[in-house]
């Protein structure tokens, strides 16, 4: 028996070093990640995206680095198939910085894949080809398929950058990417479930927990992710509440950033404009004031909203560690805000 297991381990071309650095804290799962931790579901998604018809889930070699977190960033799923290394990530927030995030992650992944090989060898060390994919289901209107490039972030753009990383983003909201959805039932039903949660959560007279529970029960009755939801009902409700609440807080944060930036921009523009002169002041005030105000306002807005959120959670009796975990924020930052709030009491 032991001999057979050793042979199976040796059959894997790539092995990830298990001696990973310990993360400061674990991050919460998402429904997407829970759903596609199942290898059969993941293979179905892979087949739909790549136009394949594989039937053996064991051909997938999952290499997700569970504790790989950089500044609160993580990857949902990583696996090797057909000599390619796929990084799948789910996002409900539009984020053009995903190529840079994936750069950090893929470097960590490759480091573990070649840890037992010599990079000073005269023989080239082969590595699986990286493929980056984001499944987006946020509320911002986007194309069914779009692409982000690392070079878009370069301060000094060049036509042929020495380092490039492309990420394909697929819109997996209900009613989008129809061809992909038709070839992957779990993805289609996942989109339907998310749409159902958002629909009921938008009602003013319904609590978030009631909205999620209603969505789960209806989906089970209608055969939408029924097996998955029945098996994981309690955890799904808990995670869905967390996901939607996090999405709502992010929307409030972005709104606060915009408002703070707008107000500060107007005020700074007005002051500078008076100093320089009415005509020139209007022009310079609009340009410099709005830009300076936008940057300062964003930071002020973030800080004010973060303090409000932390204060609310402290009143609910939550610890500093719990708050840091729920907000996916560095615990040192949360600790400083908590100490500031306590000094004001």
Give the pairing type, strands 166-171 and 129-136: parallel
What secondary structure, in 3-state letters, does the chain show?
CHHHHHHHHHCCCCCCCCCCCCCCCCCCCCHHHHHCCCHHHHHHHHHHHHCCCCCCHHHCEECCCCCCCECCECCCEEEEECCEEEEEEEECCCCCCHHHHHHHHHHHHHHHHCCCCCCCCCCCCCCCEEEEEEEECCCCCCCCEEEEEHHHHCCCCCCCCCCCCEEEEEECCCCCCHHHHHHCHHHHHHHHHHHHHHHHHCCCCCCHHHHHHHHHHHHHHHCCCHHHHHHCHHHHHHHHHHHHHHHHHHHHHHHHHHHHHHHHHHHHHHHHHHHHCHHHHHHHHHHHHHHHHHHHHHHHHHHHHHHHHHHHHHHCCCCHHHHHHHHCCCHHHHHHHHHHHHHHC
- For residues 104 and 126, give the distance between their C-alpha atoms in angstroms, rounded to a whole number: 20
pLDDT given for residue 330 in this prediction:
80
Residues of the chain below pLDDT 70: 1-29, 67-74, 246-298, 345
Q: Which pLDDT value is given to residue 296?
A: 64
Cα separation of 229 and 221, whole Å? 10
pTM (2 d.p.): 0.68
Greatest pairwise CA separation for the chain in angstroms:
86
Pairing label, strands 77-81, 166-171: unpaired
Sheet containing 84-91, strands listed edge to edge, beginning at the edge strand earlier in sequence = 61-62, 77-81, 84-91, 129-136, 166-171, 145-149
What pLDDT is stored for residue 293 in this prediction? 62
| pLDDT, tens digit, 9 for 90 and up, residues 190-215 | 999 999 999 999 888 889 999 999 99
C-alpha 267/C-alpha 261 separation (Å) is: 10
CA dihedral 6, 130, 101, 78 (to 10 degrees): -40
Provide the phi-psi class of 133: left if phi over 0, else alpha when psi is between -120 and 50, else beta: beta
Residues with Cβ within 8 Å of 267's Cβ and at least 6 positions away in sequence, in order, are 289, 293
Q: Which of 333, 340, 342 is nearest to 25 (CA)?
A: 333
What's the rounded Cα separation, in Å, for the pair 241 and 322?
16
């Amino acid at each position: 028996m032991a001999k057979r297991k050793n042979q199976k381990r040796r059959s894997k071309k790539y092995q990830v070093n298990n001696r990973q650095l310990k993360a400061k804290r674990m991050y919460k799962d998402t429904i997407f990640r829970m759903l596609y931790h199942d290898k059969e579901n993941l293979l179905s998604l892979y087949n739909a995206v790549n136009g394949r018809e594989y039937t053996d889930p064991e051909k997938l070699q999952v290499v997700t680095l569970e504790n790989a977190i950089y500044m609160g960033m993580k990857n949902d799923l990583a696996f090797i198939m057909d000599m390619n290394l796929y990084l799948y990530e789910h996002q409900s927030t539009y984020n053009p910085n995903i190529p840079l995030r994936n750069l950090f992650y893929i470097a960590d992944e490759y480091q573990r894949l070649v840890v037992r090989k010599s990079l000073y060898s005269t023989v080239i060390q082969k590595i699986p080809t990286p493929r980056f994919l984001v499944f987006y289901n946020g509320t911002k209107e986007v194309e069914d398929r779009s692409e982000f490039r690392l070079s878009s972030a370069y301060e000094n753009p060049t036509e042929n950058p020495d380092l490039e990383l492309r990420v394909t983003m697929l819109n997996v909201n209900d009613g989008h990417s129809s061809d992909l959805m038709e070839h992957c039932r779990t993805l289609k039903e996942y989109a339907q479930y998310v749409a159902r949660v958002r629909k009921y959560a938008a009602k003013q007279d319904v609590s978030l927990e009631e909205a999620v529970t209603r969505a789960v029960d209806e989906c089970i009755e209608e055969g939408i992710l029924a097996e998955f939801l029945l098996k994981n009902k309690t955890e799904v409700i808990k995670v869905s509440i967390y996901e939607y609440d996090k999405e709502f807080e992010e929307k409030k944060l972005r709104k606060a950033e915009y408002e703070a930036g707008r107000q500060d921009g107007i005020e700074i523009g007005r002051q500078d404009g008076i100093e320089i002169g009415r005509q020139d002041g209007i022009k310079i005030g609009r340009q410099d004031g709005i830009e300076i105000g936008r940057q300062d306002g964003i930071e002020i807005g973030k800080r004010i909203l973060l303090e409000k959120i932390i204060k609310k959670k402290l009143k609910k009796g939550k610890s500093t560690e719990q708050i840091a975990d729920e907000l996916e924020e560095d615990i040192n930052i949360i600790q400083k805000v908590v100490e500031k709030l306590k000094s004001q009491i």
